[in-house]
Amino acid sequence: MHQTRLRLGLSHLRAHLFQHNLIVNPTCQFCGLEPETTSHYILKCPTYTVHRVRFLMGITNLLDAPYIAGLNDDKIVQLFLHGDPPSSHETNENIISLAQSFIVKVQELNSGTEASFPFFISNIFRSVKHKNIAFRMFLSHI
Ligand SMILES: [Zn+2]
């Protein structure tokens, strides 16, 4: 998974799968607290706190302190998905790279839960209506 899938709502996050009728329950399977939306994944899921702190610490090395102090949740999600348009190309590359390593680390963390993978596949192939989307999502897991 990468930022593009999150931006398009085509990731394996449960809220996205739910939107495409691929699963019946959008609740985050890692914390069970609320639907696994993009903002839950980036900002809230307690399972990823360590990686989130690493991302935010990295951001503090790239942007000015007063600017960071003014970041609200929406802006952090925007930074994660799109970088910071007013900043330099280099800064943006670093922001996107931090977001990528968050995603990679979280995937490593979750690799212990691959037992749910066959169930996930069977759900996908039950969906005829969204066959194309399902197939693309399936490919993203390989
Ligand atoms: Zn969660």
What is the C-alpha separation between 20 and 133, in angstroms, rounded?
A: 8
Q: From the CA of 67, how far away is ligand 1's center (Å)?
A: 28
Q: From the CA of 69, how far away is ligand 1's center (Å)?
A: 25
Q: From the CA of 90, how far away is ligand 1's center (Å)?
A: 31
Domain ranges of the chain: 2-140
Q: From the CA of 114, how far away is ligand 1's center (Å)?
A: 16
Residues in the chain: 142
Instruction: Tell me the average pLDDT of the chain.
Output: 81
β strands within 28-112, DSSP E: none
What is the C-alpha separation between 80 and 47, in angstroms, rounded?
A: 18
Q: From the CA of 85, how far away is ligand 1's center (Å)?
A: 29
Q: pLDDT tens digit string along 86-129?
A: 999 999 999 999 999 999 999 888 876 543 443 443 344 444 33
b/e string for 51-74 if b means 16 or more Cβ within 10 A? bbeebbebbeebbeeeeeeeeeee
Scanning the structure block, which residue is given the tokens 């900002």? 43
What is the C-alpha separation between 66 and 136, in angstroms, rounded?
A: 41
- pTM, full prediction: 0.72
Q: From the CA of 48, how far away is ligand 1's center (Å)?
A: 8
Output the pLDDT for position 9.
83
- Which residues, other chains included, contact 6 with Cβ-Cβ below 8 Å and sequence gap of 6+? 13, 38, 41, 81
Q: From the CA of 87, how far away is ligand 1's center (Å)?
A: 31
